[in-house]
Chains A and B, each alone.
Chain A
């Protein structure tokens, strides 16, 4: 056996695990590029509509609701904008899960299998808590889905968070289970490593959303374009 083949081999192709890990890492980076584009599409949508304030329709109408449609997510109160702290709280939950995952990965890499299992398990539990928190936030917004551009943009950002939480939950169940079965261990730990990297990107995605919903709330455009009523210029 050559030096290269003394490390564990991948069962299906017989290649060294380091080769598979390198491939998987490249795959992760490309997947992140794809997800960055998707997240940017949402962020661009938010900032674009925020900056334009078309028809003065950026802010939810609150108590002045006059345009009553069949809201899939109905309005709950007279308030307009969403509270800012839940976005940061949810970001904090994701960061905690990421720290737990990194702890698990580092411990696994050092050969502490119990640390790996505990780290991934805790990350999984925190992620599930985050998923629940995100759901509670969506279902308690003061506005409904039909209450203007701000409401639309915030709801879709939160829907994107839900999607990311769902993916994280699935992947963490897998990583936890595989750690428990010893399939992720000191010698074969690249899946835990990639999971940690992925979670860092998720934190960034959540951070972008929180920054938007905190610092770009009231539109700066106080003289917005008005479409829908055409008057003759004099």
Chain B
């Protein structure tokens, strides 16, 4: 089942809701575009005018620090106006209120929603219901997808190990409840990774997990053999109270990543984690802060990747007739009309930037 909802008639990205249904070339385009933005954060003026005059709403129905902050930074670096909305949600909140929230914000001439919600499918629902000129970026919906996290991880991997076809990747931990895992698996398979292996006890694996295109192991020491990339997942404390695991200490004993266990993987293996880390639960501090860890690199890369996705989606979401790419032009300004564009941050008068 492909998800054409997120592509426009020309096959360009309009919404970014899930990795599923997106082609390898589109994912590569996101990574290439992100690369062209990677330098922006290091410039004196950390801005490009791509989305000047656009209004982006960070609509977070679930708490987040990292994701919301990097989305906000990404939007401001693209010169958009950003509104942050943290809407405490409860299990009893109704679809009407979600829809009403969207309708109200639409009336305020918003151009893009960045949505995080506790329920799977919420971003799809908003994309289906919202006005056609608005783009929706999924910043995590329930247990379904977290596509920008997957892409920033692909970006980080590609920086260090450019050939996906030779990579064996292990994803370790709570696959069942993880939207990150689902998106990572889809991205890795689309980009042609040699193997994606999930390692977890049966209680933390969804039914028919192999149908996602992964091999399965219930044993960390066996599962880490020949692995190039180790992806750890956060273990939520509530998994103990819902009888999925006996205790944190037993989990750490079986599935916690220690220096010793990491030695089983390839010597140049990298260690990733979407954060926030539970030190001593799924990962030992020595590994998290060790030389093979790229966890903080992931965070920095989040900005460039989110800039890329936002810029690409806005470009196709608001096609203004007669302009290449639909990015609005401000008289007297010069900027590239299409992406990726390495010269994109050449702002007149900002000579230091180029």
A and B bind: no
CB within 8 Å of B: which residues of A? Answer: none
